[in-house]
Structure 1
Amino acid sequence: MPVDGNEQAHDGEVPVDLSEGFGERLLGQLLDRAHEMPPQLIAPLVAEEIHRIGGRDVSIHLQCYEQLHLMPLRGAGLVAGEPLAMDDSTAGSAFLRRRSLEEPHGDGVRMYLPLLDGSDEVGILTVTLDSVGEHDRRLLGRLAGLVADMIVTKNNYTDVFFQTRRCKPMQLAAEIQWALLPPLSMQTPQVALAGVLEPAYQVAGDSLDYALNDETLHLAIIDAMGHGLNAATLASVAVGAYRHARRGDVGLDELYAFMDEAIVAQFGPDQFVTAQMMRLDVGTGHLQWCNAGHPPAFLIRGHRVVGTLESPTTLPVGFGGGTPQVASTQLHPGDLVLFYTDGLVEEHESGGELFGEERLVDIVERILPLGQGVHAMVRDLSYTLMQERGGATSDDATLFLVEWRGGDVSVLATPDL
């Protein structure tokens, strides 16, 4: 069978059409031009491409650090507008639900498309069209994914996106901490996680980290002693040591020892970090952890706290504890594990009672059933806890929620042609 320049075929096979359709051409041109595009021209480039398919009133909003608002990105071709409340806007609903939404808008349709990068939620792309069909939804959904990738990639070369996300000035200690953090949400068919750090613009000693390496999800949550810049520096060394040891593929007990030695060598024996380090087999649900003076995590099943992940604790990192005991449990599909730092339960008014673990459990069981996905869950939980504490956070307060789903992801590696 003859094959023209746009088709390829091998003996006995049906030729494959390699010609470029309109949608591929539009996305391809955006991608081709983005490689060398300076960050400040990303917004005009996106707006130009959307205008080519009849879109107008294009805006991009990025998630703020407190996870309460979507902040407008400014640039030529974009309608900047005002910050949008996540709890009281269509854009916020689309963002939290991780799905595109549409609503009538004047003589057209307004589309709200989540910007997802590796399942991390970056923000929202909004555009108005005269009418919306399936081809529009498919093309703009893919365009939103490409825009998210471009923002995350260009984020390493500019301060514009950092500045856009800020609702208020950020302290130096918090700046250091945010520079260390991985994306605060991740979702795969087998596992999902999300975290919140409070107060977002003053956080110093709390931090978290994770990595999904093949079938193993590595997790850590830490709380460095003290406040301000010293706590941020202490936390930075702890996270750096954790990552270095983790990437050396050592056991949890060796990982603790390496972190402990790093803190002692840098700060001496009088400063410490409480921590929990965990490993979850995302295929089987087998969870292992060791606890270095940290509050035990909650195990949540069917939206009820069914227990805590108790285990013998070793001394905090930096105190030279003995070899920690590694504990383990078997998760069920749909189980949630909630890690937190003691700033959540030790908050109190002067002379008053501590907030306490019991109140935390009550609020967890009241809020989590209402959420749609771990990001919305942990965000709603954080907001409610802040209200219950009277808006007070005298210490860092961090939440880290993990959901194990189970299942097989091999199908995702099979091309859908």
Structure 2
Amino acid sequence: MKLLLKAAKIIDKSSPYHLQTKDILIEKGIISKIEDSISEAHSEIIQLEDLHISQGWFDTSVCFGEPGFEERETIDHGLQVAAKSGFTAVAINPNTNPVSDNKAVIELMINKAQYSATNIHPIGAFTNGMKGEDMAELFDMQNSGAIAFGDYNKAISNPNLLKIGLLYTQNFNGLLISFPQENRIAGSGLVNEEVNSTQLGLKGIPALAEEIQIVRDLFLVEYTEGKLHIPTISTKKSVELIKEAKSKCLDITCSVSAHHLTLTDNEIKNFDANNKVLPPLRTQKDCDALIEGVKDGTIDMITSDHNPIDIEHKKMEYNNAKFGSIGLESLFGSLNQVLPLEVLVENLSEKPKKRFNIEVNPIKVGNKAELSLFTPTAEYIFSEEDILSSSKNSIFMNKKMIGKAYGIIANNQVIL
């Protein structure tokens, strides 16, 4: 198959063509020419308005339902959603049924996706059944294709278990993920503990619950000289703590979700359960600090934290609704308003791939064509028509978007 991309602006700091507008010829999944103008017979031409391309985007925190919760999202359909949202790779969290805590489930997920344009990279559970008690079969899961280990949205309450995990995974260069929440402080909280939670009478989760867990985990990393990823941080103090730890050259990274960069706890005033996420939405000062953390490199990557929840568990009283929002479709359009385009693309592509040991393919002649296609100028209001997921629980409903993904070219396939 021959593909010819016409007048594509390249956003890729690792490419010699960064910020240049070029024609790109792709043959059998490989970039064969990058020139000002290319005429090639018998090629499929892709010419889109204000076309920009970058290295393929990788989302480090995505939930699909399968196996066990197919009514929320199947693997096949979820990967179609990811592809049309601009992602050439996604890391799949282990909150399935059965939990992805052994090599059989890991291999099942990989086999389900073997012909997809978007690559799937399972995250294995750190503990059996994500119960936080006994360490799962980490080495076996990594040999079967797991790229990291963590109990999704569940804190590792036992510090000794995390210490042992940080020591053990050094034997095979494994990466642990520790969700930053001290459950005994968070309690049965629903939203950020602040003025809004008090006025609305909703139980709060204080920022301290996140920050004290991060402090503990950083001490354990320093003690063990291990390797840790802290997902979806949400407070100003968390940014400061991680920045200080990085100055000590600890082997740590962290991520932030799109909604924590763009929305505040003012969203909870209408009691819409789509705004119920974990960690909870925080304040404007936290948003500002997180944005600055992305810009200065303290925060290493951005995720959608895509978590489909079926209507039976979401459209109900705020107290009883499950935490979580879908986010693949809205990620680029929401973040393109608050971050410089080059910074945003780098935090969606090369930086997370390097941390999770995923193949990086800069836009160069001879490299594999693994590309995200998008426009940074499209303006629209995000509505149900823009939702591709089976579940419709979007935190960005009726929000203004600037920028939209066209799709991807990957694994010798085009999804637009």
Q: Which has the higher strand share?
A: 1
The structure with more radius of gyration: 1
Scaled by the length of structure 2, the TM-score of the pair is 0.27
What's the TM-score, normalizing by structure 1?
Answer: 0.27
